[in-house]
Amino acid sequence: MRLLIGVLASLALVACRTPAPEVDYQGPVAEWPSYGGGPQSNRYSPLNQITVDNVDHLQVAWTHHSGDISDGSGEWSLSSFQATPIVVEDTLYYCSPFGKVFALDPISGTERWRFDPEVRNKKSGFYPAVCRGVAYWQAEKPQGKLCDSRILYGTRDAELIALDARTGALCPGFGNGGKVALREGVGEHQIREYYPTSPPAIIGDIAVIGAFVPDNERNDVPGGVVRAFDTVTGELRWAWDPVPEDYLERHASDASRYSRGSPNVWAPMSVDAARGLVFVPTGNPSPDIYAGDRDGLDYYGSSVVALDAATGKVNWHFQTVHHDVWDYDVASQPVLFEIPGVGGGRPGIIQPTKVGHVFLLDRETGEPLYPVEERPVPQGGVPGEKLSPTQPFPTHPAPLHTPAKLSADDMDGLVFFDRLACQREFAKYRNDGVFTPPSFEGSVLYPATTGGINWGSVSVDPEAGLMFVNQMHWASVVTLIPRAEFDSEPRPPGYPLEYFQMTGSPYGGMRTALVSPLGAPCVPRPWGSLLAVDLKSGEIVWKRPLGTTRDLAPWPFWLETGVPNTGGSLATAGGVLFIGAAAEKAFRAFDTRSGEELWHVRLPYTAQSTPMTYRLGADQKQYVVIAAGGHGWSEPGDALMAFALPD
């Protein structure tokens, strides 16, 4: 009966729906030339053809399938389609999880060319295969020659590749036949232990790139060196080894060219071309959850670092987490802003973190634009650990991930007995609030390593002075195990979420999710959220759950609880905020001023990606595009989908 009522109600809404208004062609046009959308990397578009009044009439304009899908069986890793396309010079470009690149007609979705790197690194253990995007470069004075304009990106085989943007052909004068090997100098390693997952940052005629390394496997994984290569020749221009000079002096005998186990840079970077700066978000040294042996290796860990684009020298750096033993690496792309009334109108950087902290920094000096307080945090780590007594907390805006400390009364679940089970489980572990250190008995980590705010970063409407943030609200339990015990005991039953060798350290470790018997998070709802922050006042304007349990639980447990989410949002001048991200097969639009949901559409797969938009001519429509291809918690797929208003 409930299902019948729901169907009849839906039919009534369709019948009463107002006719689609005429498309307004008077507004601006704009491309999407880089991963973050433009020079500020703020995931904002000046396009306003799609508005709060007509967004509910959006329709699928075209869909492109790459065919690059894997369920993780056999020789291939699980695939996760996390790409954000770029649109430049009347062509849309994107990459698939295993590194194929596609050029499409942005109006019809028709394929113009494709490139297959035929990667050898097909299997990468726990981590799904991802390629978050490609970058575009054009010669200052194009002459109509091959590779005057180029697509550059990194592959799972740790190669930086340059393709002719018009044909997809490898650029013959770049490196070795269009490819530059990135494994040189990072030390011996397995092929699955080092490769880029985010697009290179282009500034002038250089491409700056970092790489992924696995967490908590061993303390001598490849180094986190950041390198700049000539976009024409592929020649190495500079390399930044993310360790301080005194560390290099103490470890001069290391056979690797670059320091092993140092903080790596796997997230997207940003650039300020006018100031000649590259803004680099760093991870933490390996292993992530024990730091007693780092010897200063984490000086640049969990930081945002401003590098001189010409030399690679450090201009300034700001550390978001001191001596990180929680895997709170900086996963979010830095966002540039210059807004009257925010930080005195000075050029700034927004750096979101997994902790749910958002730091507003002076772009030229790295100094906080508003007070940052060093507050005491829990102590008493395992033997050999040297915890930081304080951690930095922003005050404008205040920490966005709440509550700061969980209690038994906070425990949740889908139903009453679920909540009681969560309370019993919660009572087993150490819980001193945010920054509780890993322990032998198991410590509650809230937010979990996933965040808070992850690689989707934030979007910013510079005209309204609003920042839009999606967060995950999830807790895990982190346990350290003495080496002798870890090596002698079999893996615990129930297959922990993550079981870490941490070779070279005195401990092994594991992370498990704090969930109920029915699989629901034990933490307070919403389990995923979307909110808007006024950057001038630092106050939250609105906050709401992001996502329902429709694809996570059987009917009738389809509840608007908010759900785990990975990916980012897109803000537009039309007053519309677009986001997928949630562990639900849905793409949504919200009113940027009120947070009201204006539109949503079912997708063939979940969309763990960040949408983008473009309008390429005065007589053309505005398109919004999102990659729907699943993640570790959902079915893998390959649907790149474009939406536009009807004629």
Angle at CA of residue 331, ends 330 and 337, nearest 5° = 80
* Contact between 426 and 543 (Cβ < 8 Å): no
Tokens of 215: 């967490």
Which residues lie closer than 8 Å to 141 by C-beta, 6 or more apart? none
The single-letter DSSP state of residue 639 is E
CA dist 617 → 29, 39, 85, 105, 614 (Å):
6, 21, 19, 14, 10
Tokens of 483: 């080496």
Closest residue by Cα to residue 473 from 583, 315, 608: 583
Residue pointed to by tokens 């575009």: 136
| Chain-centre distance for alpha carbon 50 | 26
| Three-state DSSP state, 485 | helix
Report d(CA 358, CA 336) in Å as an integer: 13
* Contact between 152 and 134 (Cβ < 8 Å): yes
- What residues pair up with 348 in beta bridges, in sequence order? 337, 362
Report d(CA 548, CA 526) in Å as an integer: 10
Instruction: Identify whether 410 is a catalytic site residue.
Output: no
Whether the bond into 447 is cis, omega within 30 of 0: yes
- Give the total residue count for the chain: 647
| Chain-centre distance for alpha carbon 369 | 24
Which residues lie closer than 8 Å to 482 by C-beta, 6 or more apart? 440, 506, 507
* Element containing residue 3 per DSSP (H, E): helix 2-16
Which residues lie closer than 8 Å to 182 by C-beta, 6 or more apart? 154, 158, 159, 160, 194, 195, 196, 209, 211, 227
* Element containing residue 104 per DSSP (H, E): strand 101-104
Which residues lie closer than 8 Å to 109 by C-beta, 6 or more apart? 61, 62, 63, 64, 640, 642
Report d(CA 214, CA 222) in Å as an integer: 9
Among the listed residues 215, 272, 288, 327, the single catalytic one is 327
* Contact between 151 and 162 (Cβ < 8 Å): yes
* Contact between 213 and 186 (Cβ < 8 Å): no
Report d(CA 196, CA 627) in Å as an integer: 19
Whether the bond into 564 is cis, omega within 30 of 0: no
Report d(CA 170, CA 526) in Å as an integer: 47
- The set of catalytic residues is 327
